[in-house]
Structure 1
Amino acid sequence: MKISDWLEEKMAEGMDVSRINMPSEMSYDQAPILDPERLLNQSLQIILPYR
């Protein structure tokens, strides 16, 4: 189950999810793999916002 789906379920139950603790089984064991091209594009948008 995706975290977003789990949060939507909790909101449907009437829970305030702004400060909810995520179950440990839904957390990552390791950092996600990052896409270098996407990171570069995001960095350029921060550095050069007016192109």
Structure 2
Amino acid sequence: MLAIGGPALLTASAAGAAWLVLLVVARRTLTGPWAHHDARRAPTPP
């Protein structure tokens, strides 16, 4: 069981991590490198 479950779990976690990184990179590319952080720190206009 472990001989099969080990590599399968490792592959699944690696695929999940790669998908998460890809999603973050895609979001930063679409919104710009500073837009995501400046939206929080910038004061809201009156």
Give your verdict on TM over 0.5. no
TM-score w.r.t. length of structure 1: 0.26
- Larger Cα Rg: Structure 1 or Structure 2? 2
TM-score w.r.t. length of structure 2: 0.27
